[in-house]
């Protein structure tokens, strides 16, 4: 029996090679792998000895040869195949151990030259893996060093590698190649995943989760190979394991605060911000966010876009949060927060990678793919449509409210005052209900606040209701067939209104 070994990751290689030899396998290997084996006392044939050709083109051509692929691809139950091997002097290969050049590790470096990336695109490896995986009923293919142990145990226990085992290994091999090729294509696409008629995504399993949204659902956490930062790659400094919904809520909070250039704090429940504020003084930003909805804040997810200070940590005493997120933490702040036995403390930076500007939604039978909503309409692009223009303070509140509305489930209504969210209505089937909810949650704080609507008002009734509670300014996209009626109603109540021309639905 012959085993062909060609690996980039040499973890466990010598031990596995030793067991193979002890179980009657003759080893064939490529340059670096052969050196590793022979340096550790194992006898191996170099691939060049099998093919009769030396490696070419700086190692670009090593295993691409009929003497290699013929030995892998021949069906053992086909007399014709086996006769052809014999007539050409080709030995059958029964086991292929191969993992690929470290393309992802190479391109994830801070500054990678294109030539370095191209030289780390494996050609011979994927070809061998595909050949072996295609012929898995007759050839065992191993791409993951984690599989060496159980395969070794079976070999040492005189157990055969079953057809079920072989099929699982082949499936894993094809996934390995698919992920590898996806990483390459995403790197070369420069982030434009909507370019072309085909799109692939690749994820590596980090760990299984206890369950999904509900206990009867199975779930796992994955990361994207070319991405860094973000919630998936966060460093947990303290706390119990995260759940499926924890990750969803944490990601929402993380994205919200990083949409603001100013120091920001947000508290999220069920992916919606129940509190959000900006302020140069971080403890004040936290206090304003908490006061947005103290009831809902209990057990919520708290996020900051600046390093968390000790003073802020002290100001949070007595309030339960499931997760606290920041790009960094002062040492004393961490010690204070570690007294919360269950609270997860996550340290993470802004997410980077080709998939960060994409929004993927799986559907029955397929998927939707769109660019993320990164639009940031500034006041100088707004159209003032009412008689009264917004004051400086109203402009500031409208700007804040408009950013906040983008992160709340539609139909979304946001009330904001002095750089803080004071009320919101989310996820309602009609906009007027969201207005009622926002005003009810704001209560007395509604008076003098600015209102943002993620889409146009189909009728003027929402403006009438807002005016009755003291709203003084409104920002919305515009575009309704009844815009004139809505504008007229705003003028009747001396409400200033601006149109952005851009909608911010979030379904």
Q: How far apart are CA 271 and CA 247, in angstroms?
A: 10
Is the pLDDT confidence value at 148 over 90?
yes
Question: What is the reported pLDDT for 146?
Answer: 92
Is the pLDDT confidence value at 301 over 80?
yes
- Quick one: 160 exposed, middle or buried, by C-beta within 10 A (0-12, 13-18, 19+)? exposed
**Tens digits of residue pLDDT in 224-260:** 888 889 999 999 999 999 999 999 999 999 999 999 9
Question: Taking the domain 379-499, which CATH number applies?
Answer: 3.40.140.20
For residue 54, name the pLDDT band (cuts at 50, 70, 90): confident
What positions carry a catalytic annotation? 134, 270
Query: What does each C-alpha distance from 450 to 455, 464, 472 come to in angstroms?
Result: 15, 14, 6
Question: What is the reported pLDDT for 114?
Answer: 81
Question: What is the reported pLDDT for 124?
Answer: 84
Is the pLDDT confidence value at 28 over 70?
yes
Q: How far apart are CA 453 and CA 425, in angstroms?
A: 10
Q: How far apart are CA 4 and CA 1, in angstroms?
A: 10
Question: What is the reported pLDDT for 247?
Answer: 96
For residue 50, name the pLDDT band (cuts at 50, 70, 90): confident
Is the pLDDT confidence value at 135 over 90?
yes
Nearest Cα to Cα of residue 313 among 289, 338, 294, 279: 338
Q: Indicate the helix (H) or strand (E) that contains 266.
A: strand 264-269
CB 259 within 8 A of CB 241: no
Q: What does the pLDDT average to over 333-360? A: 90
Which of 59-73, 75-89, 275-289, 464-478 has the least mean pLDDT? 59-73
Tokens of 362: 């799986």
The architecture CATH gives domain 237-347: 3-Layer(aba) Sandwich (3.40)
Nearest Cα to Cα of residue 4 among 41, 40, 49: 49
Q: What does the pLDDT average to over 199-217? A: 91
Is the pLDDT confidence value at 262 over 80?
yes
Nearest Cα to Cα of residue 142 among 32, 1, 2, 4: 4
Q: How far apart are CA 160 and CA 151, in angstroms?
A: 9
- Pairwise pLDDT comparison (130 vs 104), residue with the higher score: 130
For residue 279, name the pLDDT band (cuts at 50, 70, 90): very high
Distant-in-sequence contacts of 386-389, Cβ < 8 A, 24+ apart: 386/487, 386/490, 386/491, 386/495, 386/496, 386/497, 387/491, 388/491, 388/494, 388/495, 388/496, 389/496
Query: What does each C-alpha distance from 204 to 100, 138, 164, 341 come to in angstroms?
Result: 15, 28, 23, 30
What DSSP assignment string belongs to 387-418? SSPP-HHHHHHHHHHHHHHTTSPSS-EEEEET
Is the pLDDT confidence value at 403 over 90?
yes
Topology of domain 2-189 in CATH is Rossmann fold (3.40.50)
What DSSP assignment string belongs to 169-187? HHHHHHHHHHHHHHHHHHH
Is the pLDDT confidence value at 73 over 70?
yes
For residue 34, name the pLDDT band (cuts at 50, 70, 90): confident
Q: What does the pLDDT average to over 186-197? A: 74
Question: What is the reported pLDDT for 110?
Answer: 64
- Pairwise pLDDT comparison (88 vs 450), residue with the higher score: 450
Nearest Cα to Cα of residue 321 among 305, 331, 306, 336: 336
Q: 49-58, 118-127, 488-497: which has the highest mean pLDDT?
A: 488-497
CB 471 within 8 A of CB 353: no
Q: What does the pLDDT average to over 272-287? A: 96
Q: What does the pLDDT average to over 369-386? A: 90
Q: What is the mean pLDDT of the chain?
A: 91
303 φ/ψ angles, rounded to the nearest 5 degrees: -135, 145
Domain residue ranges in the chain: 2-189, 237-347, 379-499
92: DSSP letter: P
- With b for 16 or more beta-carbon neighbours within 10 A and e for fewer, the 441-451 pattern comes to bbeebbeebbb
**Tens digits of residue pLDDT in 405-454:** 999 999 999 999 999 999 999 999 999 999 999 999 999 999 999 999 99
Domain 2-189 matches domain 379-499 at the CATH topology level? no
Is the pLDDT confidence value at 507 over 70?
yes
Residue with tokens 């906040």: 404
């Amino acid at each position: 029996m012959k085993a062909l070994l060609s690996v980039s990751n040499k973890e466990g290689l010598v031990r596995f090679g030793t067991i193979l030899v002890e179980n009657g396998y003759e080893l064939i290997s490529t340059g670096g792998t052969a050196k590793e084996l022979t340096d550790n006392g194992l006898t191996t044939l170099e691939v060049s000895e099998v093919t009769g050709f030396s490696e070419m083109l700086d190692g670009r051509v090593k295993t691409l040869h009929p003497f290699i692929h013929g030995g892998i691809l021949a069906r053992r139950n086909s007399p014709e195949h086996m006769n052809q091997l014999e007539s050409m002097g080709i030995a059958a290969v029964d086991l292929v151990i191969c993992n690929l050049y470290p393309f992802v590790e190479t391109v994830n470096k801070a500054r990678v030259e294109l030539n370095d990336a191209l030289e780390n695109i494996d050609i011979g490896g994927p070809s061998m893996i595909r050949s072996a995986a295609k012929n898995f009923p007759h050839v065992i293919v191993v791409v993951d060093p984690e599989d060496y142990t159980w395969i070794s145990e079976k070999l040492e226990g005189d157990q055969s590698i079953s057809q079920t085992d072989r099929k699982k290994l082949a499936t894993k091999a094809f996934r390995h190649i698919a992920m590898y090729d996806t990483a390459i294509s995403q790197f070369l696409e420069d982030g434009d995943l909507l370019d072309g008629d085909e799109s692939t995504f690749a994820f590596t399993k980090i760990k299984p989760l206890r369950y999904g949204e509900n206990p009867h659902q199975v779930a796992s956490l994955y990361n994207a190979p070319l991405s860094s930062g973000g919630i998936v790659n966060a460093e947990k400094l303290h706390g119990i394991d995260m759940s499926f919904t924890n990750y969803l809520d944490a990601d929402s909070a993380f994205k919200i605060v990083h949409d603001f250039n100013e120091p920001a704090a947000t508290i999220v429940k069920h992916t919606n911000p129940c509190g959000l504020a900006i302020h140069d003084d971080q403890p004040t930003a936290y206090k304003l966010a908490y006061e947005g909805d103290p009831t809902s804040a209990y057990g919520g997810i708290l996020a900051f876009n600046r390093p968390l200070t000790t003073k802020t940590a002290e100001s949070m005493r007595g309030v339960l949060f499931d997760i606290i997120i920041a790009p960094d933490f002062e040492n004393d702040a961490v010690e204070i927060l570690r007294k919360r036995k269950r609270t997860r403390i996550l340290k993470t930076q802004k997410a980077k990678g080709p998939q960060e500007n994409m929004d993927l939604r799986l559907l029955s039978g397929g998927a939707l793919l769109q660019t993320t909503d990164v639009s940031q309409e500034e006041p100088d692009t707004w159209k003032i449509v009412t008689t009264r223009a917004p004051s400086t303070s109203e402009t500031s509140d409208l700007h804040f409210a408009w950013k906040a509305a983008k992160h709340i489930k539609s139909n979304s209504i946001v009330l904001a005052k002095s750089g803080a969210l004071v009320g919101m209505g989310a996820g309602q089937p009609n906009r007027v209900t969201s207005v009622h909810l926002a005003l009810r949650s704001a209560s007395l704080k509604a008076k003098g606040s600015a209102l943002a609507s993620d889409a146009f008002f189909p009728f003027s009734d929402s403006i009438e209701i807002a005016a009755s509670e003291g709203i003084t300014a409104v920002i919305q996209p515009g575009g309704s067939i009844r815009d004139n009626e809505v504008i007229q109603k705003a003028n009747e109540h001396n409400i200033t209104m601006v149109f952005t021309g851009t909608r911010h639905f979030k379904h």
